[in-house]
Structure 1
Amino acid sequence: MKQENYLEGIYGCLERIEKKVETLPVEGTSPAVENRTNSPEGIAELKIRLERLQSAVEKNSSEIAAVRSHTARLSEGRPLSAETFAGEMEKTRDSLRQDSQAVKETVRRLDERMVLLKKEPVHKLVTYRLESASKAVVTTASALILALVVSVWTNCNQYRTNRLLKDADLKYRAIRICLPGDDPDIAFLEKHFTIERDEEKIRRVERLVTAFEDSVRNRIRNHEMAAYKDSLAHRLFREAQEIRKQVDNPNSK
């Protein structure tokens, strides 16, 4: 009775082992293999799971071998049923061995896949060259650049001219403030420039102003030249005095 209870316990254990074997994932049907093999992280995780399954299969195989040895010892009085049970156990063990080989093959393929993914990508050198489509494009671009340069130069000159005109207007207004209100020159300018505009007198005033400015510039230039000549004469005079002292006293240093 004790042996029968022990055999029933062994059969229950074997049934649970067979159910575990049936629930093992077959190669190509694992959702992890189908969905997560596109990234190295998914492949590494799948490899870890397969290694765990492989260790579980090997552990189950060792447990089945131990159960088989115990069953053989307990069933020595009934050789027929023991041989039949041993044959079934051998088939189960072969099935587990095949599953273990399939798991090992899957792990090997995953290793190869990870090696391919870890390879560095090929870097390609890409060069670009700018070419003109036609002579019309080059001509148009050159004309636009030239127009831009001319526009900038014109704007700079216009700004300088506007600044000079603004300064001249400010100086005239300052002169009007300094002179008395009934000054004849101010009255003449106001009359012929605004009230009764006379182009001939305006041109005469322009010539007088130009001549005056030229005379002022010439006077300043002559004054600077005279100052330069005076300083040069003083320097030559000092050099002549030094030379005369050396001639009069040849022994002096």
Structure 2
Amino acid sequence: MGILNVTPDSFFDGGRYADENKILERVAGMLEDGATFIDLGAYSSRPGADFVSEAQELERIVPIVELLVRNFPEILLSIDTFRSNVAKETISAGAAIINDIAAGGLDSEMMKVVGALKVPYIMMHMKGNPNTMQQLASYSDLTQEVLEYFSHKISEARSYGIDDLVLDPGFGFAKTLAHNYELMSKVELLHMAGLPLLVGVSRKSMVYKLLNVTPAQALNGTTVLHTIALQKGAQILRVHDVKQAMECIAIIDHLNANKNE
């Protein structure tokens, strides 16, 4: 899953893709490098990010959905939003998947709308909202609490008729550096839910703060974590660097093929 942020303030690529030509060039490159999905977001969820109204989010994102569907008719677009109306409008414009950082927790209509739209739904683990989440990073048993959260969310989603669910552990969301690595060390336990697992660690603070580098210098550390996530059974990697992630996938696939012979 290649990341396309059309926000001015995302932690790594904010403001890079501000015109149509740059957007088309970026997406063409990710698809050429092997991306299955493109994850499009118009509201930065980094801690302390600026508030964006629903009208602003729609104004930013719907024209980009239309642009990408027009230029890449086979594209599978995932929409990174926690707002039901944005979900509705972007699916209507040609997107295919909703990726909700709050799993319905920031919009009580979200699951109802996704159920009616009959599209796949990615549910992430988070506490609070992007502005409060880091103050809520407290757990007695992190992995157990994440599993319990997903058990509840899966049941709720099924009650709204959502058939296709993907789980995202939410690395970096309401989690300290230690929490992130504790969760990665046990992430295979989330397969108990019997659903596909998405891992999003690309160039995040769990990489660059640990290694004392910048996000721009965090590709090597990201690649290490992608390899570990794949070995632990992750089915989707959400990444800024598609070519390098695809190389990880190719190597792990080859290892697994030899192991199973």
TM-score (norm 1): 0.17
Q: Higher strand fraction: Structure 1 or Structure 2? A: 2
Tell which structure's C-alpha radius of gyration is larger.
1
TM-score for both structures, normalised by structure 2:
0.17
User: Which one has a larger percent helix, Structure 1 or Structure 2?
Assistant: 1
The structure with higher relative contact order (CA 8 Å, sep 6+) is 2
